[in-house]
Amino acid sequence: MTILRRYMLRAALATIVVLLPGSLSAHVLDEYLQATRISVEIDRIAIEMDLTPGAEVANNVFQTIDLNHNGTVSSAEAAAYANYVVSSLSLNVDGKRRIVKLEEYHLPELDEMRRGEGVIRLRVISISEPAAAGQHRLAFSNTLRSDISEYLVNALVPEDKRIRINGQERNPSQSEFALDYTVFGSGEGTRSRAALPVLVVLAVVSAFAIAKHFKSRMNIG
């Protein structure tokens, strides 16, 4: 990564932090915030999730994790809940269902969750044969605890220059997400430095959208 590219990406991230009304941890207390980031690579798709129960729903969520009700999370309970989250996800590429596998996970203790600070983190991957050159469409859905959940989902900028994102679509709740992208053959589609400001603009626009969302949910004037 060049110095210019690193500087501009940092500037975009700084803009996002400034625009957000407080931190993501300051979300609505009676919601289960699920923030998902999707990364597309030539031979795999990675899904990273941060799940943060608001203080008012922490006990509700924890009861589905702490199966023996002893107030702590055992390694078996953590693994069971992480796999339960994965079972709520659906991933398709070009209309074909993709198998997703749990790669990493971390679950906090109840006290952290009651304070609204406990974040459940997961990384899920789907490995495949290298994607063929051409247009592709990814479809993702998340049905985990739709009764109390607030969803946020976005695609990360591909590190591989052979992959270019063309557009993203979401349903109103953001529980469903679609991504159109192009895979270029060898020697094609290398991203020029001139494209970087466009990424920065997209990051800023996304920040405004997220900020507006949180303000509307938290009734901030």
What secondary structure does DSSP assign to the chain, as a single string? --HHHHHHHHHHHHHHHHHSSS-GGG--TTSEEEEEEEEE-SSEEEEEEEEEE-GGGHHHHHHTT-TT-SSS--HHHHHHHHHHHHHTEEEEETTEE---EEEEEE---HHHHHTT---EEEEEEEE-SPPPSEEEEEEEEE-TTTTTEEEEEEEPPPSSTTEEEEEEEE-TTSSEEEEEEEE--TTS-PPPGGGHHHHHHHHHHHHHHHHHHHHHHHT--
Instruction: Please check whether residues 128 and 153 belong to one and the same domain.
Output: yes
pLDDT in tens, 38-86: 999 999 999 999 999 999 999 999 999 999 999 899 999 999 999 999 9
Instruction: Please check whether residues 73 and 126 belong to one and the same domain.
Output: yes
Predicted pLDDT at 206:
52
Domain enclosing residue 216, as ranges: 1-25+191-221
pLDDT in tens, 173-214: 999 999 999 999 876 655 443 444 444 445 544 544 454 454
pLDDT in tens, 45-54: 999 999 999 9
Predicted pLDDT at 190:
52
Instruction: Please check whether residues 12 and 104 belong to one and the same domain.
Output: no
pLDDT at 160 over 80: yes
Tally the domains of the chain.
2
pLDDT at 219 over 80: no
Q: Which residues, including other chains, have CB under 8 Å from residue 123's CB and lie 6 or more apart?
A: 46, 47, 48, 49, 102, 103, 104, 105
Predicted pLDDT at 188:
62
Q: What percent of the chain has pLDDT over 90?
A: 64
Instruction: Please check whether residues 52 and 155 belong to one and the same domain.
Output: yes
pTM above 0.85, yes or no: no
pLDDT at 16 over 70: no
Predicted pLDDT at 17:
38
Instruction: Please check whether residues 175 and 96 belong to one and the same domain.
Output: yes
* 123-133 mean pLDDT: 96
Instruction: Please check whether residues 168 and 214 belong to one and the same domain.
Output: no
Instruction: Please check whether residues 140 and 44 belong to one and the same domain.
Output: yes
Instruction: Please check whether residues 19 and 39 belong to one and the same domain.
Output: no
Instruction: Please check whether residues 41 and 101 belong to one and the same domain.
Output: yes
Instruction: Please check whether residues 20 and 40 belong to one and the same domain.
Output: no
Predicted pLDDT at 21:
41
Predicted pLDDT at 22:
42
Predicted pLDDT at 210:
52
Instruction: Please check whether residues 57 and 140 belong to one and the same domain.
Output: yes
Instruction: Please check whether residues 156 and 71 belong to one and the same domain.
Output: yes
Q: Answer yes or no: are the C-beta atoms of 8 and 195 closer than 8 Å.
A: no
